[in-house]
Structures are given as structure tokens and as C-alpha cells.
Amino acid sequence: MVRNILAAATVLAFSATGISASIASAQEITADRLPLEGVAAIVNDSVISFSDVRQRARLLLMSLGGQQASQEQVQQITGQALEQLIDERLQLDKAAEYELVIDADEIDAAINDMAAQSGADAQTLRSELIRAGVNPASLEEQMRAEIAWQRVMTGLYGSRIRISENQVDDQIDRLRAASKKTQYRVSEIFLFAPDEDTREQAAQAANSIAEQLRAGADFRVAAQRLSSAPTAATGGDMGWISIDDLSPELAPAVEAAPGPGLLDPIPVENGVYLLFVAAKREPAAAVTKVDLIRLVTQGASDAPLIAAMDRINSCDDVQTVANTTQDVRAQPLDDIDVAELGPEGKSLVEAAEIGKPTPIFAAGRGLATMYVCRREEGAEAIPSREDLKQNLKGQELNMISERELRNLRREATILYR
């Protein structure tokens, strides 16, 4: 799938302390990548070692917010880590057919962008990976595959996708019809598991991911890094949907949800779903749309946030200040229905002045404030035609990408050890 690398980076939970890793730690990680423990899988002629799988599992867990993954957590997610590595080898093989090479400078630039989004620099990010027991080469290889695959898919199909005005009209009609029903704002993570063995692994991984999410990990990052659904590129966001839009396996769980929150994993025929129900609205409910920038810091101290807020005069300053303030990062949230923020978040945002921050509040394992950059009362909950056209094009490209990756899997020689 086409995943947004930089969006995922904004919520990586890297601490800014303990930047320097010991030589012993680095040597341990280097040794960890040696294929001493044997081969986990062979993809065509490419070998994936158990060390590769363990490194990727740690990287995935770290991206969900953990600094030092336990052996049990690593074991629970190794199945998903292996499947991701297999996909990446297939993606790189496809890129090689077109003699597409991703330069080290491109990967470094992506890492620099990722670090800047987290309020750090590339060296800090790499050092934090080492502190968490992750070889930076695992992240670099993941980026190489993602950049290459995105470039291949965009090059092959991007210019071929044409969204007609009739398609936009049909989408508007569907949205208007749906607005007359009870609607739910739902996000999804889908762990693809086509057979019994992989379904058992996916179930274990789903439980581990759910544990991380309930501990404060960001659902969008988990979707971007782990989901096999086309919505992975948008952080798993399915938008406002009615029960009729859901499959029979998922609809009862969403309809029975007592309120906003993460649902228990839902096994289906070809995998496992994790669903997050953000909000529910009845037909014709009043809609208030806002543009927000959330300013976040990890830990219990509000000093980094206060230092950043003192330097911010308007919404235009937030990202720049976040990029130059240690332990602080900015997360833009555009065109959000205030109902999605929950009762407490809605109250904070409605009380804030345009261009001003809300009071500081608890957010996962840290603290945050939200700058309100736009508020539109009574806005129709239908995007503009241009936004719909871009959304439809993105959805189609994501579906093509998923289909092509599945085809590569069917045609490849994959041997599990």
C-alpha cells in the first residue's frame, strides 16, 4: 500500500534524553543482525533472517509509543513484522524491474524530515532507535521500500486515474443520503491473514497492538505502519459512515459500542480488524468544523509546552516553534467536526479564541494544548468537490496498490522456515 511516511513520523514517541548510546549497545545491535539464528523466510532469492524480523518487531512497537519492548511484546508481533518484511522485499523487487534506485540521500532526507516533525534531528532519532534496541538500518530499509513502492505505483497508475464529475456527484449523493442516518466516525486497522496459521499470528498481534493503543499509542500511526486496508494511508480513517456501509462482521460491534473508544479485535475470514469509534451523530445534528494544531510533549512536565507557547503569537508560528523546541511536536488536524474530539475536547475547543491555545490537558503519556485556527458553525458535513475528487483518486490508487501487492505475493516464491 502507499503509506504516508512523514505523517506517521509526527507521533513517534521518541524521548529527548539519553541521546548517546553506549558502544556496547551498538555492538549488541550489530551482532543482532547477523544471521546466526537462521532464516525466517526466503522471498524469491532474498533471505529474511530471524534477526531482521526481531529488529522490525521492535521498530513497530517503538513506533506505537514504547521505548523498550518486552520479549513477550516482540514475540506477539513477529508474525506481522515478518509479513511486512516480505511485502517490502517484493516491493523492492518490483522497483528493480524498472531499474529504480533510491539513493541514500533520499532516505537521509526522509529521516531528517521525520526527525524535524518530532522536534529532533536525524542523529537524535537514530540514537533513540539504538537505545530502544533497534538498528537504524531497519528503519532505513523500510523507508527505502516505501519510497520505491510509492514511486512505482504513482508512475504506473497516477496519471491514468481519472475521476469524472459523475463520480463526484455520486459520492455527494451517497454522503447526503448517509447524513440522514445515524453515523459513526470509525477508524480501522486490518491485519491481513489469509490462512489459519497467519490468522492465529494476526490475533496475537492484534491483542498486542490493542494493549499499546489503550496505553496511549496513536491509532493513526498504528494504522499507517501495520494496516493492510486501503485506509492505511490516511491513518485508518473511514470517515463518517452508517451501519449499512460496514460488513456484517463489523456492523454489530460498532452499533453496540457504548461510546467512543477502541473495540476488541474482531476476527474475520481473511484477517483481524481493530476498530476505533471516535464519535456518533444522529441525522441532521448540528456540525461545527474546526482547523486545529495540537502541540504535544511527552512526560509529566508542562515546561516544554509553556516555553513553546510563550513564543507563539498565531497559528502560523506553531509548526516553526515546535520544530525548534526540544520535546515538543505539532500535529495539524484540519476540518475536524468538534464532536469527534469528545466532550472534554469539544468544550476546550469551543471555549478557545481563534488563533489562541486551549488550556494544557493530559494526552496519552504526555501533555498537550490545541490551537484553534478556524471555526465554522453549522458547516455542511460534505467536503468540497475538489477535496472529494482528490480523495477518490487517492482511494483508487491505494486499492490498485493493494491489488498489485497481493498479485506479487501470489506470483512470488515464498518459503517460510
We report the CATH number of the domain holding residue 44 as 1.10.4030.10
What average pLDDT does the segment 68-89 reach? 84
Residue of higher predicted confidence among 89 and 218: 89
What average pLDDT does the segment 317-334 reach? 90
101 vs 149: CA distance, rounded Å: 11
The closest alpha carbon to 146, from 106, 118, 119, belongs to: 106
Query: Does one domain contain both 10 and 152?
Result: yes
What average pLDDT does the segment 341-351 reach? 90
Digit-coded pLDDT (tens) for 203-215: 989 998 998 898 8
End position of a domain, from candidates 158, 174, 201: 158
pLDDT band for 72, please (50, 70, 90 cuts). confident
Residue type at 361? F
End position of a domain, from candidates 158, 185, 211: 158
State percent of the chain over pLDDT 70: 87
End position of a domain, from candidates 136, 158, 180: 158
What average pLDDT does the segment 103-120 reach? 79
Range of the domain at 140: 5-158
What average pLDDT does the segment 369-393 reach? 81
Say if 250 falls within a structural domain: no
pLDDT of residue 65: 64
Whether the model clears a pTM of 0.85, i.e. scores above it, the answer is no
pLDDT of residue 160: 92
pLDDT of residue 233: 77
Residue 189: is its pLDDT beyond 90? yes
Say if 409 falls within a structural domain: no
What average pLDDT does the segment 168-188 reach? 87
What long-range pairs does 202-206 form, CB within 8 A, spacing at least 24?
202/79, 202/80, 202/271, 202/272, 203/265, 203/267, 203/272, 204/76, 204/77, 204/79, 205/76, 205/77, 205/79, 205/80, 205/272, 206/265, 206/272, 206/274
- H-assigned helices in 50-182: 50-63, 71-97, 104-117, 122-131, 136-153, 165-178
Digit-coded pLDDT (tens) for 227-245: 888 888 788 999 888 999 9
Digit-coded pLDDT (tens) for 12-40: 333 333 333 333 333 344 334 434 468 99
Say if 416 falls within a structural domain: no
What average pLDDT does the segment 247-254 reach? 95
What average pLDDT does the segment 333-360 reach? 90
3-class SS of residue 141: helix
β-strand partners of 187: 237, 276
pLDDT band for 378, please (50, 70, 90 cuts). low
Residue of higher predicted confidence among 132 and 143: 143
Residue of higher predicted confidence among 131 and 254: 254
pLDDT of residue 239: 86
Say if 72 falls within a structural domain: yes
In this structure, are residues 313 and 346 in contact, taking their beta carbons and an 8 Å threshold? Answer: no
Say if 276 falls within a structural domain: no
β-strand partners of 271: 192, 268
What average pLDDT does the segment 33-62 reach? 82
Residue 247: is its pLDDT beyond 90? yes
Say if 301 falls within a structural domain: yes
Location of C-alpha cell 518459503: 415
pLDDT band for 255, please (50, 70, 90 cuts). very high
Digit-coded pLDDT (tens) for 399-416: 899 899 989 999 999 888
Residue of higher predicted confidence among 296 and 417: 296
What average pLDDT does the segment 286-310 reach? 88
pLDDT of residue 310: 94
Residue 250: is its pLDDT beyond 80? yes
Q: The domain spanning residue 362 has which CATH number?
A: 3.10.50
Count how many domains the chain has: 2
Residue of higher predicted confidence among 396 and 383: 396
pLDDT of residue 267: 94
106 vs 51: CA distance, rounded Å: 26
Residue 11: is its pLDDT beyond 50? no
Residue 131: is its pLDDT beyond 90? no
pLDDT band for 222, please (50, 70, 90 cuts). confident
DSSP character string of 177-244: HHTTS-EEEEEEEEEE--SHHHHHHHHHHHHHHHHHHHTT--HHHHHHHH--SGGGGGTTEEEEE-GG
Q: What is the mean pLDDT of the chain?
A: 83
pLDDT of residue 12: 35
Residue of higher predicted confidence among 285 and 136: 136
Residue 162: is its pLDDT beyond 80? yes
Residue of higher predicted confidence among 114 and 42: 42
